[in-house]
Amino acid sequence: MNALIIGGGLGGLFTGAILAKEGLKVTIIEKNATVGGGLQSFTRFGEVFDTGMHVIGGMQRGGNIRRICDFLGIMDKVQIADLDSDFTDELYFAEDGKRYRLAKGREGFVNTLARQFPHQRQELKNYVDAVYRLTNEVDIFFLRPTDSHIPVHSSEFMMAADAFVTKYITDSKLRSVVAYMNPLYSGRADMTPAYVHAIITSLYIDGQSRFVGGSYRFAETLSNFITSQGSTIIKGDGVEHVHSADGLISGVTTKKGHTLYADYYICAIHPCNFMKLLDDPTILPKAYRNRLDSIPNSYSAFTLNLKLKPNSFPYLNHSGYYMTRYDDIWNFGRSDRKWPLGFLYMTPPEEKQGPYSTKMIVTSPMLWDNVQKWENTTVGNRGKDYIVWKQKCAEKLLDQMEQMYPNFRDCVEQINMASPLTIRDYYGVKEGAMCGFSKDYKNILLSQVPVVTKVKNLLLTGQCNNLHGFCGVPLTAINTCEAILGRNYVINKL
């Protein structure tokens, strides 16, 4: 039995690795010269910058993604650095200039925030308990087998994330503080489900890590494992056409003219982009195609990749978050708000990391609307007005960095900028969406895209199906693999 996977991002690689380990002959087709998707890194100014996976969870001992890596036998080849246990995240709110430092673990999270909100200690405990209670409702997160095809969840599981926070936290500022990870999962007020907030929050409370020397190394580790099992990865040659016959996918033709066949075909790219490859779109029901087209996408991001002057800025073994106003923590997805509302900044670790950093990544959520006027342009051919616009965006972010670190510009040697257009073109995702489809608690069925389709030999994988990111995508890969191997097949081996 063999499987052909369209897309060599995190979802395609994990799906391919699991299937290859279980004896399938896998072929992965990746349009870019390198695999990895959000794991890709690039070199500028002599420095390696990661494109997406800046902070990762689930890799601590006993963590769900670490268990998958142990199952594949690759953990000894993975180089990660854990963030400081007593100082994993620092939040800065420009509105009042206050900083909040958070520690690892449930008690650490509660205690560090209770120092600044002593009247909310019990509320914080109740909130954290509720977060973990919701997370415990998701079997796949804990790699637990399940016999239920339609899981039953609590009423809180299906409520809006912002309403969930409000239910437990009475202090308005603290509500915004505990929701600081909201931009990481493209959260929106009165839209994002509480379970998404709970899973991401618990994941990072349990412990955060970073890839040492570039996330591309992890992509290479997965890639090498796949080829070591006798499977194939084709790079620099995307799929041009997906053929069908008798209600099944019958083959694919690449841009370089190669035609390939398989028993199973797995879409590991944005589903809306995949549908454009179908020679006969009607192989999928019209209602299904319309449904996918109608699901709103998560927002994108604008990123600064900064090369720092030698010995000018300290290495930060924690993540930093800049927020403008407390009330805007849930408004990153609104077009009537002035950009930027905030950003994540971090200094990536190197081997033999010293006290100073040589680079920094600054990532600020941004809507597609900001770049829509250039959507029909290509890399390197977007015009002078686009270059000027990017420079203005960079200056705004640097201005905000200097609120936290006066004279920060003096530490910067060179700047590389990436917009939602960059993400769209390199990741191949609709509207440069960082987290795939948006999730809406008011229409969970619309938000949840099953890995199985009406075409028996066509499956989906990736962040548009369930959760996004370094944790969610590998878990979805298990769902995809079990659609071929059998229910709980992989879970029972883990």
Q: What is the rounded distance in angstroms from the CA atom of residue 426 to the CA atom of residue 428?
A: 6
Are 313 and 401 within 8 A, CB to CB? no
Spatial CB neighbours of 276, under 8 Å, sequence gap ≥ 6:
none
In contact, 175 and 166? CB cutoff 8 Å: yes
Q: Is-contact 457 426, C-beta < 8 A?
A: no
pLDDT in tens, the chain (494 residues): 999 999 999 999 999 999 999 999 999 999 999 999 888 888 999 999 988 878 899 999 899 999 999 999 999 999 999 999 999 999 999 999 999 999 999 999 999 999 999 999 999 999 999 999 999 999 999 999 987 667 788 999 989 999 999 999 999 999 999 999 888 888 899 999 999 999 999 999 999 999 999 999 999 999 999 999 999 999 999 999 999 999 999 999 999 999 999 999 999 999 999 999 999 999 999 999 999 998 888 999 999 999 999 999 999 999 999 999 999 999 998 889 999 999 999 999 999 999 999 999 999 999 999 999 999 998 889 999 999 999 999 999 999 999 999 999 999 999 999 999 999 988 878 898 888 888 899 887 777 789 999 999 999 999 888 888 888 999 999 999 999 999 999 999 99
Question: What are the backbone angles phi and psi of residue 360, rounded to the nearest 5°?
Answer: -145, 145
Give the model's pLDDT for residue 284.
96
Place of tokens 């029901």: 285
Query: Both tokens of residue 39?
Result: 């794991």
Predicted local distance difference test score (pLDDT) of residue 429: 83
Strand order in 208-211's β-sheet? 56-57, 208-211, 80-82
Burial of 155 (0-12, 13-18, 19+ CB in 10 A): exposed
Residue 461: the pLDDT is: 97
Q: In sequence order, what DSSP letters do the residues of 217-243 get, joined into one string? A: HHHHHHHHHHHHTT-EEEES--EEEEE
Q: Which CATH number fits domain 2-41+215-295+439-493: 3.10.110.10, 3.50.50.60, 3.30.470.10, 3.90.1170.50?
A: 3.50.50.60
pTM to 2 decimal places: 0.94
Q: Evaluate the CA torsion angle 394, 399, 404, 405 in order and state its sign.
A: positive
The Cα–Cα gap between 172 and 351 comes to 42
Provide the pLDDT for residue 426. Answer: 83
Distance (Å, rounded) from C-alpha 346 to C-alpha 401? 12
